[in-house]
């Protein structure tokens, strides 16, 4: 059988994250030291002390989460845990690619720093919300007459994150809030990630991704936009570009890994969000947090 490593995305940041690893794991401390030498802001101070509001700004959240996940990866390696498949939720896909040896820690950090800066250019122009209680097929007709709202993250069969303009999301909220069996929860994000609003970010990131060396991964990598495993560097690069404006097909990713023989997952990073999602996916293998 096989083991899968899952890496969290934005929303997993909080003041104090990584401090215990830094103090107890020399390899994890080295990762943070390397990040400090590359970045143009005090990542150690922000990671340990916040404030939470600043950490939540996507330009800082992305390199912070990527670095913290790399620290947790060192902990997993020190425990002798091997892995056959990797996947990351949205931003977490960069952590997954680093863990598979597709690019170096520094190259990945440079990419997520630029990704965060590019996406932050859309701050205040859109937002996101979680819709719980409807399947993809049930939600689609509800959004059909709202042209600037899309299904962004297909997390579980009945938990879908939608993304779009402020005006469009207001219309979606009025349609869905209060419906029996449906929960509409607005998310504390500053932009409409994984939607057409991110086209400018995709235009910025495409040449950066194209000039970064992508090596053949050491294990199977599962793409957000296809939900399928691959070891082809060209396909991985194309999928990573498409991911900026495209969907995160997380449910498909988990089910395809389980079908391929993954009988256990580990969440490699701060928090337990992905572990919780696995519990709500029927047939998914158990996920543990380090």
What CATH number is given to the structural domain containing 261?
Answer: 3.40.366.10
Catalytic residue among 12, 56, 69, 90: 90
Q: Which CATH number belongs to the domain containing residue 133 in this structure? A: 3.30.70.250
pTM of the model: 0.96
pLDDT the model gives residue 286: 93
pLDDT, averaged across the chain: 96
Would 191 be classed as within a structural domain?
Answer: no
pLDDT the model gives residue 16: 97
Would 22 be classed as within a structural domain?
Answer: yes
Q: How crowded is residue 85: how many other Cβ atoms within 10 Å of its Cβ?
A: 24
Q: How confident is the model at residue 178 (pLDDT cuts 50, 70, 90)?
A: confident
**Is pLDDT of 241 > 90?**
yes
Rounded to whole angstroms, the Cα distance separating 286 from 119 reads 33
pLDDT the model gives residue 240: 97
Q: How confident is the model at residue 190 (pLDDT cuts 50, 70, 90)?
A: confident
Q: How crowded is residue 280: how many other Cβ atoms within 10 Å of its Cβ?
A: 14
137 Cβ partners below 8 Å, 6+ apart? none
For residue 128, the surrounding DSSP H or E stretch is strand 126-132
Catalytic residue among 194, 195, 223, 289: 194
What's the mean pLDDT in 186-210? 95
Structural domain for 20, as ranges: 2-122+196-289
Same structural domain, 91 and 219: yes
Same structural domain, 33 and 47: yes
Would 202 be classed as within a structural domain?
Answer: yes
The answer to whether residue 120 is catalytic is no
Rounded to whole angstroms, the Cα distance separating 213 from 211 reads 6
What's the mean pLDDT in 243-256? 98
Q: Which of 253, 84, 71 is nearest to 154 (CA)?
A: 253
Rounded to whole angstroms, the Cα distance separating 10 from 12 reads 5
The answer to whether residue 194 is catalytic is yes
Of 158, 186, 214, which residue constitutes the final position of a domain? 186
Q: Which of 195, 200, 125, 131 is nearest to 167 (CA)?
A: 125
**Is pLDDT of 282 > 90?**
no
Same structural domain, 118 and 130: no
């Amino acid at each position: 059988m096989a083991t899968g490593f899952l890496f969290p995305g934005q929303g997993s940041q909080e003041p104090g994250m990584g401090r215990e690893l830094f103090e107890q794991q020399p390899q994890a401390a080295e990762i943070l030291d390397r990040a400090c030498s590359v970045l143009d802001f005090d990542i150690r101070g922000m990671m340990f002390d916040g404030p939470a509001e600043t950490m939540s700004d996507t330009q800082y959240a992305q390199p912070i989460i990527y670095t913290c996940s790399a620290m947790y990866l060192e902990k997993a390696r020190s425990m002798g845990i091997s892995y056959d498949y990797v996947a990351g939720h949205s931003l977490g896909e960069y952590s997954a690619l680093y863990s598979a040896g597709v690019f170096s820690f520094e190259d990945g950090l440079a990419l997520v720093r630029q990704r965060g800066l590019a996406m932050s250019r859309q701050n205040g122009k859109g937002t996101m919300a979680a819709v719980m209680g409807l399947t993809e097929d049930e939600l689609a007709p509800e959004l059909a007459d709202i042209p600037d709202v899309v299904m962004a993250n297909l997390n579980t069969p009945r938990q879908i994150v939608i993304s779009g303009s402020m005006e469009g999301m207001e219309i979606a909220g009025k349609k869905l809030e209060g419906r029996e069996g449906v929960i509409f929860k607005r998310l504390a994000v500053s932009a409409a990630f994984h939607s057409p609003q991110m086209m400018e970010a995709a235009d910025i990131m495409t040449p950066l991704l194209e000039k970064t060396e992508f090596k053949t991964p050491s294990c199977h990598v599962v793409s957000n936009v296809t939900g399928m495993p691959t070891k082809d560097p060209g396909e991985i690069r194309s999928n990573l570009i498409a991911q900026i404006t495209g969907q995160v097909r997380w449910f498909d990713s988990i089910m395809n890994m389980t079908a391929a023989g993954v009988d256990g997952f580990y969440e490699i990073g701060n928090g337990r969000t992905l572990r919780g999602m696995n519990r709500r996916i029927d047939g998914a293998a158990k996920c543990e947090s380090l």
